[in-house]
Amino acid sequence: SPTTVSPASSASTASTLITNIAALVTNDPSLGSPLGLIQDAAVVIDGERIAWTGDQSKAPATDNRVDAGGRAVIPGFVDSHSHLVFAGDRTQEFNARMSGRPYSAGGIRTTVAATRAASDEELEANLTRYLAEALRQGTTTFETKSGYGLTVADEARALRIAAAQTAEVTYLGAHIVPPDHADDPAGYVALVTGEMLDACAPYARWIDVFCEKGAFDGDQARAILTAGKAKGLHPRVHANQLSYGPGVQLAVELDAASADHCTHLTDADVDALANSRTVATLLPGAEFSTRAEWPDARRLLDAGVTVALSTDCNPGSSFTSSVPFCVALAVRDMGMTPDEAVWSATAGGARALRRDDIGRLTPGAYADLTLLDAPSHVHLAYRPGVPLVSGVWRRGVRVV
């Protein structure tokens, strides 16, 4: 049953009722299903928070009123994995791949060179543009990473630029060993865990490692994540993307918030995730754009693993900022139901960021919500490629 939070007494804070919502996704499991769906619903926003959700016939009086026109409302998407501080693109590499060349992590070097050569203004303008794109597609929270600088100054710069736009900033100095350290990977790990970490930690909440053949092995990744933890950064891991490997079990060992990609998993990897609070973040845009095999979401869900869905937006492996596209892929090709995919792209992303103030539309949460131009959240998978976002509120303010 609906609950009311008394407004924070301020007369200056306007309250808004959004009514005539055909289907409201609250992600409140106490309503009988993980999505906490309410039909013929209304939402009350007070300031930057949700004050009330429930049956529209029982909605309290408010200052303002918005008619949702019989459409669906869902929590704003929480995109918990992106790489948006970069310059240039990799159109040629994509063309070559679509003609049969395989994806390789080596392409990261192309973007590192372009990013190092770019001005601060250029990087800021790119980031702003991709964020605006994401917002128009219903994303109200995003995480983003460094990883295309790979010098002390270039990594710190990327994180400073990211931190001006989001609280969810991740230090990924360990993306690859850059060409300037090709003969000295141990020296690069020392830099990433030493001077570079010192310069980057003030801007970041998280530390990440690309744990993969051709990037960093399990021992290097453990050393890097452990050094980050000692500096107050919490781990997340690019794990088991291109091949089987130690990444997922390392993520669990270190209580990482998330193991990301999870494309090549043994039964032991799935068990480890199921017995942990580490979320498996699946990034189907990467498998789409690299023509790789899909991660098996069904296997993870059936084992009891918490699954998040995100874009991995980056110029190499997944140049999409669209969470709805990822939802559609996950439903079509990864064994998720539409309900599961929408949960994973909202509440799942929040879990992957260890946040409980976003990803749900229940009293007290931030009023981050997306109005769909459709009567049901299922249309996100059912009508792929169609722009279905007709309104976005962020922290209680309508921004789209």
Per the structure block, which two tokens stand in for 66? Answer: 């918005």
Rule CB under 6 A: is residue 367 a binding residue for ligand NIG? no
Of 2, 107, 324, 363, the one binding ligand NIG (CB under 6 A) is 107
Instruction: Answer yes or no: is 316 a known binding residue.
Output: yes
Is residue 111 within 8 A of residue 248, CB to CB? The reply is no
Rule CB under 6 A: is residue 210 a binding residue for ligand NIG? yes
CA distance 279 to 371: 27
Q: Of these partners, Fe ion, ligand NIG, none, which one is at the site of residue 26 (CB under 5 to 8 Å by kind)?
A: none
CB under 8 Å to 293, separation ≥6 — which residues? 263, 287
Q: Of these partners, ligand NIG, Fe ion, none, which one is at the site of residue 286 (CB under 5 to 8 Å by kind)?
A: ligand NIG
The interface region with Fe ion, picked from 14-22, 69-77, 179-187, 304-312 by CB under 5 A, is 304-312
Rule CB under 6 A: is residue 314 a binding residue for ligand NIG? yes
Of 143, 155, 212, 312, the one binding Fe ion (CB under 5 A) is 312
> In what order do the strands lie in the sheet containing 234-239?
77-79, 139-145, 168-174, 206-211, 234-239, 258-261, 279-282, 307-309
Rule CB under 6 A: is residue 312 a binding residue for ligand NIG? yes
The interface region with ligand NIG, picked from 106-114, 177-185, 245-253, 272-280 by CB under 6 A, is 106-114
Facing residues of 307 across strands? 280
CA distance 205 to 110: 27
Of 139, 193, 317, 322, the one binding ligand NIG (CB under 6 A) is 317
Smallest separation, CB 263 to ligand NIG (Å): 10
Q: What are phi and psi of 105, to 5 degrees?
A: -60, -20
CA distance 41 to 116: 50
Q: Of these partners, ligand NIG, Fe ion, none, which one is at the site of residue 241 (CB under 5 to 8 Å by kind)?
A: ligand NIG
Instruction: Answer yes or no: is 148 a known binding residue.
Output: yes
Closest CB to ligand NIG among residues 288, 382:
288
End-to-end, the C-alpha distance of the chain in Å comes to: 30
Rule CB under 6 A: is residue 238 a binding residue for ligand NIG? yes
Give residue number: closest CB to ligand NIG: 316
CB atoms within 10 A of CB 285: 26
CA distance 399 to 142: 15
Instruction: Answer yes or no: is 92 a known binding residue.
Output: no
DSSP, collapsed to helix, strand or coil, labels residue 187 as: helix
Identify which of 23, 57, 59 has the alpha carbon closest to the alpha carbon of residue 43.
59
The interface region with ligand NIG, picked from 70-78, 116-124, 308-316, 385-393 by CB under 6 A, is 308-316
Closest CB to Fe ion among residues 56, 314:
314
Instruction: Answer yes or no: is 296 a known binding residue.
Output: no
Facing residues of 168 across strands? 143
Which residues carry a binding-site annotation? 81, 83, 90, 148, 175, 238, 241, 312, 314, 316-317
Which residues carry a binding-site annotation for Fe(3+)? 81, 83, 238, 312
Q: List contacts with ligand NIG (CB under 6 A).
A: 83, 107-108, 111, 210, 238, 241, 286, 312, 314-318
